Structure 1
Amino acid sequence: MLNTLNKMGLSSSVMYGMGFASIGASVASWAISRSAEAADIDRADRWGIFVGTWAPTFFALGCAMRLEEQWGPKGTREQMKESRERAREAMPIS
């Protein structure tokens, strides 16, 4: 899935931006629904919560894409093992 999103031209920065935009859209949808609809405030709250649930998804996808951008889709275990070994060598053992 991450490869597909990457092929579509999306990056981790775009996903983070979409997460922040969805927070703003959540507040905006709540405010618009509250003032524009004749329905109860409960409906406005539901709209705000519905749109607000998108933000964690976008942030999680942004984190996953960032890791893939750093490590690459293949060879991740080997690169992480090398990185761990370098960190162990750099840290003095008492």
Structure 2
Amino acid sequence: MLDKLAYISTGLGITSIAASVAAWYTEKSEDAEENAHAERSGIFIGLWPQTFFALAIVLFKLKELGHDKDVKRLLKKLDKKVKEVES
């Protein structure tokens, strides 16, 4: 479970790099104000990859340390609670 989340987080990091570049270049025009907005959008999206990659590292480390069993146990408890609320 943790490894799947880590791979998803890594994929989101790579995707946000591409999204940052795309936002920067697709929003550019001849208007200086629009160019400034494109740069700010690209920089804002460019701040996301570090967070996703750090999260992936933490999740891989938790998996390595054997905490995957804890996650499965917590998910079972959560499923029980959801079923109690639904009924």
TM-score (norm. length: structure 2):
0.65
* 3-state SS of paired residue (1:40): helix
Q: Distance in 2 between matches of 1:30 and 1:53?
A: 13
Q: Does residue 13 of structure 2 align to residue 11 of structure 1?
A: no
- How many residues align? The count is 68
Which structure 1 residue ranges, 5 or more long, are not aligned?
75-94
Which structure 2 residue ranges, 5 or more long, are not aligned?
69-87
- Shift >6 Å, 4+ stretches: none
Could you tell me how far 1:10 is from its partner in structure 2? 4.7
Q: Would you tell me which structure has more helix in proportion to its own residues?
A: 2
C-alpha offsets along residues 3-29 of structure 1, whole Å, 9 cap, x if unaligned? 9xx5xx952111111100000000111
Q: Does residue 55 of structure 2 align to residue 73 of structure 1?
A: no
C-alpha offsets along residues 36-89 of structure 1, whole Å, 9 cap, x if unaligned? x88332111100000010000000000000001111239xxxxxxxxxxxxxxx
Greater relative contact order (Cα 8 A, min sep 6): structure 1 or 2? 2
Q: Does residue 20 of structure 2 align to residue 23 of structure 1?
A: no
TM-score (norm. length: structure 1):
0.61
How large is the Cα RMSD of the aligned pairs? 2.7
